Structure 1
Amino acid sequence: MTSQPVLHLTVGLPGAGKTTLARRIAEAERIVRLTPDDWMAPLFGDNDAGGRRDILEGRMIWVAHEVLCSGAGAVLDFGCWSPEERYAIRVVAESAGGRFDLQHVSLDEAERRSRAAARWETAPETTFPMTDDDHDRWLASYQPPSTDELSYAPVPDPPAGFDTWLHWASERWPTLPRLDQPLSL
């Protein structure tokens, strides 16, 4: 009997330890790790590059879906600052027959910022410069996972205007196909 594949999602702000945790999970479970920062700098030399991060993340979610469909697990090291993003990725995992594992990583704010700065100083090829204004803006927009999310309570209905979470996901990440509809060739 084969075990159910798992899609791990590391959630948190820059410098909290998401990538370190994602690497540990991927190594321990011998599964693929998908981290946008590993691709953004080499491909675009920038963390956002005119919206390309959303495009890249959509493809990574699709790859994770395909990996789960094949019976293997994956780690998405994204951050996912909103509950909508996290619920959508949970539904992607479940639609592929996988189990969803939410890994929330947080630190004291001063330590988190210090780690982000140290990473830029010691391994600039793995990150991007972050100002105090960047950190303040991100902290203001970040919504940590709720108790319901962390306890894997039933997924709520998708946001208004969307028939499914997979529909919402395909709008949020433009290169993610509608996984709830047949692909048209």
Structure 2
Amino acid sequence: MVGLPGAGKTTRAAELAVVHRALRLTPDEWMLPLFGELEVEGKRDLLEGRLIALALRALHLGVNVVLDFGLWSRDERSALRWLAATAGAACQVIYLPVEPDVQRARIAHRQATAPHTTVPMSEAEIGTWRGMFQAPDAAELGGDGVPGPPPGWPGWFEWAVDRWPSLAHGDASRAWR
């Protein structure tokens, strides 16, 4: 799932999980109960790494997986597409664009009706995030081949371990060494 806060990713991920009998992994559903926040001194990256390792294990067992992460960067998506292919799985990038006014309204509604599922988001944060977000292109959405890793990286696994450090531990790491 690719999109900004308020795009409808979790709703769509839940629908896909039912239709495809898939394991849905949503970091927010772990971060808030464990830490009371969505970002805590790098813990989100560690949690996401463990969820990715779990997703890869599920894929190896033949279980479908929906990652509801947001995946704002092309490199994150490319690394996950590569990992899925290495696990012998097909990967589909699903992008949910959202207009700024709709995004703000959805965020406000969620804060008002289900504050235990979210954290307050300022107008400045929302604007900053929109500026950081890299929308997927037609090649990503069409499932075209995964590009090579960014300059300076020997492969996508090394890049992914740097991005999600806990991915280097356990079964996930052994699968690519």
**Is the 8 Å Cα contact of residues 166 and 179 (structure 1) preserved in structure 2?**
no
1:102 aligns to 2:93 (yes or no): yes
Separation in 1 of the partners of 2:147 and 2:67?
Answer: 22
Q: Helix, strand or coil: the match of 1:24?
A: helix
TM-score between the two structures when normalised by the length of structure 1:
0.90
1:41 alignment partner, one of 29, 32, 50 = 32
Separation in 2 of the partners of 1:120 and 1:92?
Answer: 34
Q: Helix, strand or coil: the match of 1:156?
A: coil
The structural deviation recorded for 1:65 is: 0.4
Residue 53 of structure 1: aligned partner: 44
Separation in 2 of the partners of 1:26 and 1:125?
Answer: 22
- After superposition, what is the alpha-carbon deviation per residue over 1:112-154, rounded to whole angstroms, capped at 9, x for unaligned? 1110111111111111110001101100100100112112222
Q: Helix, strand or coil: the match of 1:33?
A: strand
Residue 83 of structure 1: aligned partner: 74
The structural deviation recorded for 1:61 is: 0.6
- After superposition, what is the alpha-carbon deviation per residue over 1:134-179, rounded to whole angstroms, capped at 9, x for unaligned? 1011001001001121122221110122111111101100101246
**Is the 8 Å Cα contact of residues 76 and 160 (structure 2) preserved in structure 1?**
yes
| Structure 2 segments unaligned to the other structure (5+ residues) | none
Q: Helix, strand or coil: the match of 2:19?
A: helix
Letter in 1 for 2:154: D
TM-score between the two structures when normalised by the length of structure 2:
0.94
Residue 69 of structure 1: aligned partner: 60
Separation in 1 of the partners of 2:176 and 2:83?
Answer: 13
1:156 alignment partner, one of 141, 147, 151 = 147
1:92 alignment partner, one of 83, 91, 105 = 83
Q: Please report the RMSD computed on the Cα atoms of aligned residues, expressed in angstroms.
A: 1.1
1:25 aligns to 2:16 (yes or no): yes
1:169 alignment partner, one of 133, 154, 160 = 160
Q: Helix, strand or coil: the match of 1:154?
A: coil
Residue 111 of structure 2: aligned partner: 120
Of Structure 1 and Structure 2, the greater helix share is in 2
The structural deviation recorded for 1:180 is: 5.6
Residue 181 of structure 1: aligned partner: 176
Of Structure 1 and Structure 2, the greater strand share is in 1
| Structure 1 segments unaligned to the other structure (5+ residues) | 1-9
Q: Helix, strand or coil: the match of 1:117?
A: helix
Instruction: Tell me the percent identity.
Output: 45
The structural deviation recorded for 1:181 is: 3.4
How many residues matched? 173
Separation in 1 of the partners of 2:174 and 2:138?
Answer: 27
1:16 aligns to 2:7 (yes or no): yes
Q: Which contiguous aligned blocks of 4+ residues in structure 1 show a shift greater than 4 angstroms?
A: none
